[in-house]
Structure 1
Amino acid sequence: MMKNSKKLMTALLAVSVLAACGQKEEEKQVAEPVEQEETTIDVSAEAEQFKSLLAGQMDSFVTDTELLASAIKEGELEDAQKLYPLVTMYYERLEPLTPSFEELDEKINGDLVEGKEMDTLGFQRIAYGLFAEKKTAGYEEIADELVANVKAFQADFATIDVSENNVLASGVTMFQDMTNNRLTSPSVAGTEVYAVKAQTEAAEDLMEVFVPRVSTESADAASKAITALNEIVAYYEVGKEDYVNYNLFTTKQEQELITAVTDVEKALQQMNDSIK
């Protein structure tokens, strides 16, 4: 009888161990994360529509870039300094598209690196000459190269593939760069207000394109933020399309503009998050 009891206990113990193991295995299986497929929202049609809104400025962009180059080649420093921010406004409006043509973007508007100014191309190199060195001599060839690259850009514009570019998200990045970099470390040219104005116009175009795809709340918030930013920029307008040099701003004025730009950035991000 004792032997049978021991056998029974051994059997019961074995069953308990097996059951426990089975339960742990089941728990382990439940704990393992389930892979989910990523859902990609197609905004290629909106990107193409945004591009089409900007196509109308391309002829003027080329013409005014040629005027800037002519002023440089003729040694007209003041005229070139006045033209420079107005010409760059065309390119600022195109900023959300730049991820779609990075190589040409580098030629037209390469980043100015301290200590390597001579290696920079396009607008930033010319700005260094006009506003830091305060001269046009030696920049004639660079001006001609800029015109050639802008013309190449115009020729390629219709065929630039923007299908993989969420231009609304690129617009958010554009404003992030403005608040985190450009408005906190202003250029020697001091043309940041011109840039903000042009990028705000780009934001208005983005709103027009994406309103049917986003929540009403986010669109309303973006509209209010853009209106508020436009009002601040208008305060610094000193002539038709001329604005106060950003390097003359007080710390309070800088912060007011940075806050307004940040509000637009956040509103565009909310729009992007609500795309349906």
Structure 2
Amino acid sequence: MKKNLWAASALLSVAAISLTACTPNDQSSGSEDGKIAVSSTADTCDVSTTETKAGTTTFTVTNDGSEVTEFYVLAEDGIRIISEVENIGPGISRDLTVELAEGNYKTSCKPGMVGDGIVGDFTVTANPDAQPVSDDEQALRDTAISQYTSYVKDQVEQLKTKTDAFADAYASGDDETARSMYADARLHYERIEPVAESFGDLDPKLDSREADLEEGQDWTGWHAIEKDLWQPSAAANGGEDYQPLSPSERQKMAETLKEDTQSLYDQTRELDLTVDQIANGSKSLLDEVTASKVTGEEEIWSHTDLSDFQGNVDGARVAFEDLRPIVESKDADLATEIDEKFTDVQNLLDQHKQGEGFKNYQDLSEDQVRELSDSIDALSEPLSQLTGVVVG
């Protein structure tokens, strides 16, 4: 779970972007290398320029603070997420490449990756030097967007069906059946997680871990139910005996999960995606693996992390494959390298399959966990170039 990227926003319609996409911006006033520099600290979000021309924009975000941070580009309302880069450790710099149409936006740094963040205004002006995307490339873009949108809708349909069945089993007290359904249903959410995270507070309702909760936040969703199905000992629960949910509390929790999943289903019926969002989403899914799956922090009670790992990798690979014709036309070697690294990751995951699912994550040795982590790192490096190539 994380706060992520895709705005279902008309601000970034394909038509608007196609007029500017091939023109990289000259942002020399904001940074010597033509990128917009961003410095994030505990109490500042210093963006080197607050105005740029429409087209491809790259923010180079440096964490000059002491906590892990993330950086967002938001729509004018400050709610809808255009794109973001997360898990930037102290002293680390990462790039975020986006295509921005003319309009008003906001930028935000979120030190500690909690709270409302440090928000500032950002303006994108008309670009008289913009060159239109060629007809051939626009056709490839349209195909990629259509294919990926269909994939998201299909995954959410499967998620809804399986979630309804899971929630009904849980509400009825059939814990054995509910536990057997848990990982398989969540797999579909993990595949399209960046899209789910674009809809305001929907992702926190569905996917917050206990460690993610902010003061006063109600805990609902998958992980609250997970804890009730795999009830921890007092030693694993902060020294306190776990209090199981009552039948009425179970019913309410199950109904809330179904309602929030229905909301996700409804909102994904009308997606308005762009190729940079799809490319950034692919990398974001790998970041999700690094942040919580490899560490075993995502499924702390059920230890079904490998299933989530697989879902994130599946979603990242589909996004890349839908964009691959564009990448091959511009950098065939990069397309081949990314494909090979995806295959390496999948081969490692396959070693840990058990029946129709995966081993308990706690059964992996330190060396096996490290091997998985190294394979994700090896894939992340070329995949980080994906957006720049697609919109370049």
Please indicate the TM-score interval, normalised by the length of the shorter structure. 0.7 to 0.9
- Give the TM-score normalised by structure 2: 0.56
Structure 2 counterpart of 1:213, from 306, 314, 326 = 326
Task: Please tell me the residue identity of whatever aligns with 2:158.
Answer: S
* Alignment equivalent of 2:377, drawn from 225, 243, 262: 262
Asked if 1:225 is matched to 2:341, the reply is yes
Change (3 A) 1:159 1:123: same
**Quick one: which of 346, 351, 354 aligns to 1:238?**
354
Aligned partner of 1:191 among 304, 309, 333: 304
Which piece of structure 1 moves more, 128-137 or 245-254? 128-137
Taking structure 1 as reference, are residues 114 and 209 closer, same or farther at Cα in structure 2, changes over 3 Å only? closer
Distance 1:82 1:136 in 2: 19
Distance 2:341 2:388 in 1: 17
Deviates more, 1:134-143 or 1:197-206: 134-143
> Helix, strand or coil: the match of 1:207?
helix
Classify 1:238/1:34 alpha carbon distance in 2 versus 1 (closer, same or farther; 3 Å): closer
172-181 vs 69-78, which moves further: 172-181
Counterpart of 2:203 (choices 82, 105, 119) is: 105
Percent of pairs identical after alignment? Answer: 19
Match of 1:252 in 2: 367
Q: Give the structure, 1 or 2, with the largest relative contact order (CA under 8 Å, sep 6 or more).
A: 1
Flag the structure with higher helix content.
1
Unaligned 5+ segments in structure 2 are: 1-27, 35-51, 57-97, 100-137, 233-241
Measured at CA, do residues 165 and 99 of structure 1 come closer, stay the same or move farther in structure 2, by a change above 3 Å? farther
- Matched residue pairs, number? 243
Aligned to 2:389: 274
Query: Relative to structure 1, is the Cα distance of residues 114 and 92 closer, same or farther in structure 2, using a 3 angstrom cutoff?
Result: closer
| Distance in 2 separating the partners of 1:116 and 1:84 | 25
Q: Pick from 256, 260, 278 the counterpart of residue 167 of structure 1.
A: 278
Q: Is the 8 A contact 1:47 1:165 kept in 2?
A: no
Which position in structure 2 is the counterpart of 1:152? 263
Cα separation, partners in 2 of 1:165 and 1:111, compared to 1, 3 Å? farther
How far 1:161 sits from its partner (Å)?
3.8
What is the deviation of 1:227?
0.8
Note the alpha carbon deviations across 1:111-162, whole angstroms, 9 max, x for none. Answer: 4227879832211211121123496744221111111111122122122443
**Alpha-carbon distance in 1 for matches of 2:259, 2:226:** 18
Could you list the per-position Cα deviations for residues 230-265 of structure 1 after superposition, in whole angstroms to 9, with x for gaps in the alignment?
11111111112x100112211111111111222222
Alignment of 1:23-172 (within 5 A): 39-40=55-56, 42=99, 45=142, 46-47=144-145, 49-113=147-211, 119-133=218-232, 137=246, 138-163=249-274, 166-172=277-283
Matching residue's letter, 1:147: K
Given the superposition, is the C-alpha separation of residues 103 and 79 from structure 1 closer, same or farther in structure 2, using an over 3 Å criterion? same
CA contact (8 A) 1:218 1:274 kept: no
Give distance in 2, aligned partners of 1:218 and 1:50: 20
Looking at structure 2, the residues matched to 185 and 243 of structure 1 have their Cα atoms a distance apart, in angstroms, of: 14
Cα distance between partner residues in 1 of 2:296 and 2:306:
13
The letter of the residue matching 1:188 is W
Give the conservation status (yes or no) of the 8 Å contact 2:282–2:320.
no
Alignment-mate amino acid for residue 236 of structure 1: H
Distance (Å, rounded) in 2 between the aligned partners of 1:266 and 1:172: 9
> C-alpha distance in 1, partners of 2:148/2:387?
15
Question: What is the CA–CA distance in structure 1 between the aligned matches of 2:164 and 2:202, rounded to whole Å?
Answer: 18
How many angstroms does 1:53 deviate by?
A: 1.7
For residue 48 of structure 1, report the CA deviation from its aligned partner.
5.2
Q: Distance in 1 between matches of 2:261 and 2:275?
A: 23
Instruction: Write the distance in 1 (CA, Å) between the matches of 2:193 and 2:145.
Output: 13
Query: TM-score under structure 1 normalisation?
Result: 0.77
1:156–1:114 CA distance, 2 compared to 1 (3 A): closer
Larger Rg: 1
CA distance in 2 between counterparts of 1:34 and 1:177 reads 34
